[in-house]
Structure 1
Amino acid sequence: MQKFKILWADDEIDLLKPHILFLEQKGYDIDTVNSGLDAVEKVEGTNYDVIFLDEMMPGMTGLEALQQIKVLKPQIPVVMITKSEEEHIMDDAIGAKIADYLIKPINPNQILLSMKRILQNKQLVSEKTNLSYQQDFRNISMAYNDAIDHNEWTDIYKKLTYWELEIDETENKSMQEVLETQKVEANANFTKFIKENYLDWLNDPHMEKPVLSHQVMKEMVFPHVKQGKPLFFVVIDNLRLDQWEILEPILSEYFVVQSDDTYFSILPTTTAYSRNALFSGMMPLDMAKFHPDLWEGEDTDEGKNNNEDAFLKINLKKNRLNIKSSYHKILQVNQGKAVLENFPNLLKNDLNVLVYNFVDMMSHARTDMKMIRELAPNESAYRSLTYSWFLHSSLFELFKKIQEAGAEVIVTTDHGTKRVNKPYKIIGDRNVTTNLRYKQGKNLNFESGKVFEINKPDEGKLPKFNISTGYVFAVEDYFFAYPNNYNYYVNYYRDTFQHGGVSLEEMIVPIIHMLPK
């Protein structure tokens, strides 16, 4: 065990000899002083791992010594020990960023527990996390190797996400490689599951299936709309479950989670398809068939999501919701500020739909900009960028306003994203779509196997633009690459975050209903 060096300041230090001997037997190195002034002098010349500071010392009090110690070496954790239970003393000590607060009389085990909590917390938590994951590893593997349904797949993905975040908090992340291997195996099995079931979900009305993109508003949003009571529906484009999980603790200070659910994004898992389906309540085939004036196909250069507001109105009318609603898409900082300034007017609506595009823009920027890729070289750093953006975003300010107004909010996304690493060669004509995770076109040439093919677009409820149109989706962590300039293309896109294909991360989507505290 590492030998930690401790300073203990108490005007009755001689009476604490048994405590000090107990800690020395446990391997701690203890310096003792009997005044606040001596404690400050010791700190000036010696580096300590933790300081125990009696509050009621003659001359310089513990609180006064604490202030000087924090100026000298603010990083050293200080434990305040006092006979007094007066609230203002506790407030002053906590305000000065103490590490712990103990009230006399104290026993040796209290001191030891405080030491472990401060000095060995990360190590002990890491050991427990690694042991717990090892115990759960077999359960997860058995689950995804069995014939399972969509609910069990959701549970598996939630478990893998939970362990990913837990292991990320450990000191040396020793189990991360094992977890990554398990995620690869899980995604391979999930691909088989989607190949076997996806088209049946769309074509068999009697089959038990998950909520899909086009059903979300009808089944998970509209039931919470009440006239005269504003509901906010916030769509954060391209947000994965792990990213939501790191944002939820921030919002838990303001909201109570009423339901923490998921739905499955349709294919392709791209904004053009899944988000239009989300707002319209229709699959892409029906949007293209019944609303050709609103649907922008792959053969046009127009923005594919310019008509979400119109699709939303169609969906409201179809569900006979004669309500006041608004729609806002936030792509830039000034648009976010405008929403905040307009907030009092939003409260007059029954439903306010807001789309925030930052996370999607961040994933594209990470592909195109070397600096962003260096800032977010891995999944953990990518989550950290999301966390930092949210803390300083107009969206967080909006959530605070929603809570203050006593309004409800539903948060979701349209699809997730997958970090891709393995190229997959594909050949097509110049009209084939450019997306790295799916291709739509005619005469597509590729090696069959590690893809999901929909040769009859009608079965996938997808539009076709000529008689031989087909769709092919990358699975697991593959991405499509053309033979031309193959090496350049592969090196440029390997280790980037992409969406459009089949993976747990892209298809299983969080949707959370929150009530204000």
Structure 2
Amino acid sequence: MQDTTILWADDEIDLLKPHILFLNEKGYKVTTVTNGNDAVDTFKQHYFDLVFLDENMPGLTGLETLQQIKNINNDVPIVLITKNEEEYLMEDAIGSKIDDYLIKPVHPKQILLTIKKLTENKRLVTEKTTMAYQMDFRTLGMTLNDNLSHQEWVDVYKKLIYWELELEKLEDAGMHEILTLQKAEANVQFCKFVERNYLNWIKNPEFAPTSSPQLFKKKVFPKLDGNGPLFFILIDNLRYDQFKVINPIISEYFRLEEEDTYYSILPTATQYARNSIFSGLMPLEMEKRYPTMWQNDEDEGGKNLYESEFIADHLKRVLRKECKYSYHKILNIDEGRALNESVSNLMNNELNVVVYNFVDMLSHARTDMQMIRELASDDAAYRSLTLSWFEHSPLFDLLKFLASKQVRVVITTDHGTIRVKNPSKIVGDRNTNTNLRYKQGKNLNYNAKEVFHIRNPHDAMLPKLHLSSSFVFAKEDSYFVYPNNYNHFVNFYNETFQHGGISLEEMIIPVVTYGPK
């Protein structure tokens, strides 16, 4: 490895010879100057990995020298060394984007620690992170072979996402590839788990995880306590990993009260999962209770047109009292801004429900638009694009306003999404729905090993379009393709983000409560 080069500017540099000899013995190459002007000239002529600046030098001060060096190369870390402990000087240094601040007299080992922190931090973090994941890899591998509960699967998924986000920071493609393989194996085992247990959860909900129809009962109604409004914000199609990248920004304005997850029902699609959340009912119950409002797959028109009515009936049915609420669906930036302009009028409501459709639209746009597909080429890029949208969105502005008003907020989603890679052939009649991750229809022909088949939809509390209708769900990262035009559809849909089937990413989703700081 090439020696680390250091520029050290101090008008009493002769007194620092023991420090410099110590650093030379440790393999660092130190160039010394005695004033700020020489420091700037030397910096222009040579590359340095790190700069030490004495604050009080003749001519240019340390802070003035810092500014000139930053103008030449803003990326080189700079450490200010001074005898002055005045608070204003520290504030000036921090405001000038100093990387570290040391008070004289400094010990050689203190200098060494600063150098390692600023120049070798990435390598040290990489080594520590890699070692920690390697240890966890074995533990996770053994865990996947156990008969896990629904909560243990949540813990496994959270751990995998933790490592995915940690390894993403490192330039270690090998470790990331290992994690990708482990995550794929986890999805294989998770799908088997869902196949074994899903219908039992429907029959015996007391043994089931919290799912879409129980979300309001468990996470919303208990918070309607008369102590100000509650905002329930549903970001359509938001995965747990996407939540994890926007959470630090939200937490700057709110106190995180509870970070939890719940399971989306099947199909993990908006018309089923989100309607179930707002009505508090399973799809079959919705079809019976709202025969004119429930829309099946083969029905024309929008499938989520009556969410406000579902919420109103849900509140009345469960709370058995009047509850002043509002409902807003945001489909574009202008609607988001309009809501923000009128949000003050909502402060007297007990509950305000806001649905943001951007992430779902981003998922579909990635399929349909080549430019978006290139911008969100993989999971990391998809997270980055979500974060960029959120930082500049009216939703973030809304949250900052709510934080200033000391309002509690619940943020969640209706289902997640997965990047599909493996085509699975299926044959159905002309009335079979078009979703790539689940199919509902008659006489479906498929590879039984690649799907979860529910022969009687009523067993899963799903509507039955015809006497012989059934549901099949794609598992892991597969997607359904008809044999006709097989290559065309594979080329178009491969590596796109889809939802409706069974995977950790689609089913285990965040529900988070924020309170005022």
TM, length-normalised to structure 2? 0.98
1:309-348 alignment runs, 5 A limit = 309-319=308-318, 320-348=320-348
Amino acid at match of 1:226: D
Q: Structure 1 pair 71/205, CA: closer, same or farther in 2 (3 Å)?
A: closer
Gap change, CA 1:161 and 1:303, over 3 Å in 2: same
Q: Is residue 371 of structure 2 the alignment partner of residue 371 of structure 1?
A: yes
1:121 CA drift (Å)? 1.1
Matched, 1:83 2:83: yes
Give the superposition deviation at 1:220. Answer: 1.1
Contact 1:215/1:278 (8 A) holds in 2: yes
Show structure 2 runs of 5+ residues with no match.
Answer: none
Match of 1:250 in 2: 249
Secondary structure of the structure 2 residue equivalent to 1:501: coil
Determine if contact 1:227/1:323 at 8 Å carries over to the other structure.
Answer: no
- Return the alpha-carbon distance in structure 2 between the equivalents of residues 47 and 203 of structure 1: 69
Structure-2 separation of matches of 1:284 and 1:166? 38
Aligned-residue offset at 1:321: 4.3
**In structure 1, C-alpha distance between the alignment counterparts of 2:174 and 2:122, rounded to whole Å:** 13
**Which residue is equivalent to 2:102?**
102
Task: Show the counterpart of 2:237.
Answer: 238
Instruction: Report the residue type matching 2:168 in the other structure.
Output: D
Query: C-alpha separation between the residues in 2 aligned to 1:453 and 1:491?
Result: 26
Runs of 5+ consecutive residues of structure 1 not aligned to the other structure: none
Q: Please name the residue that 2:217 is paired with.
A: 218
Give the secondary-structure state (helix, strand or coil) at the position aligned to 2:273: helix
Q: Is 1:283 aligned to residue 282 of structure 2?
A: yes
Give the equivalent residue in structure 2 for 1:154: 154
Q: Secondary structure at the match of 2:174?
A: coil
**Deviation per residue, 1:350-408 (Å, 9 max, x gap):** 11111111111111111111111111111111100011111111111111011100010
The residue number in structure 1 matching 2:6 is 6
Equivalence for 2:203: 203
Query: For 1:368 and 1:220, how far apart are their aligned partners in 2?
Result: 35
Q: Deviations over 1:106-127 (max 9, x none)?
A: 1112111111111111111111
Q: Establish whether residue 261 from structure 1 lines up as the match of residue 281 from structure 2.
A: no
**Equivalent in the alignment of 1:132:** 132
Residue type of the alignment partner of 1:266: I
- Change over 3 Å in CA distance of 1:461–1:384 after alignment to 2: same
CA contact (8 A) 1:410 1:513 kept: yes
After TM superposition, the structure 1 stretch with the greater mean CA deviation from structure 2, 38-47 or 306-315, is 38-47
How far the C-alpha of 1:204 sits from its partner, in A, is 2.1
Matched residues in 2 for 1:411 and 1:402: separation?
A: 13
Structure 2 CA distance, aligned partners of 1:172 and 1:205? Answer: 44
* TM-superposed deviation, 1:228: 5.2
Are 2:405 and 1:413 aligned? no
TM-score when normalising by structure 1: 0.98
Partner of 2:303: 304
Shift of 1:205: 4.5
State the alpha-carbon separation in 2 of the partners of residues 117 and 406 from structure 1: 39
What is the SS of the residue equivalent to 2:303?
coil
Cα offset, 1:256, TM superposition:
1.3
CA distance in 2 between partners of 1:68 and 1:498 (Å): 51
Cα offsets for 1:291-336 (capped at 9, x unmatched):
0111111121211111111111111011124221111111111100
Q: 1:445: which partner in 2?
A: 445
Per-residue CA deviation, residues 55-96 of structure 1 (Å, 9 max, x unaligned), is 011221101111111122222211111111111111111111
Structure 1 residue 414: Cα displacement? 0.3
The yes-or-no answer on 1:493 pairing with 2:493 is: yes
Match of 2:64, SS state, is helix
Q: Where does 1:452-491 land on structure 2 (aligned, <5 Å)?
A: 452-491=452-491
Contact 1:228 1:348 in 2 (8 A): no
* Bigger Cα displacement from structure 2, 225-234 vs 145-154: 225-234
**Does structure 2 conserve the Cα–Cα contact (< 8 Å) formed by 1:123 and 1:171?**
no
Q: Is the 8 A contact 1:426 1:445 kept in 2?
A: yes
After superposition, give the CA deviation of every residue in 1:460-500 in whole Å (9 maximum; x if it has no partner). 10001110110000000000000000011111111111000
For the pair 1:22 / 2:22, whether they are aligned, the reply is yes
- Residue number in structure 1 paired with 2:64: 64
From the superposition, tell whether residues 321 and 116 of structure 1 become closer, same or farther in structure 2 (CA, over 3 Å). farther
Aligned residues: 516
SS in 2 for 1:174: helix
Q: Which amino acid aligns with 1:315?
A: H
Residue in 2 that maps onto 1:51: 51
Question: What code does the residue aligned with 2:234 have?
Answer: V
Shift of 1:226: 2.2
- Matched residue SS, 2:105: coil
Give 3-state SS (helix, strand or coil) of 1:390's partner: helix
Q: Corresponding residue for 1:274?
A: 273
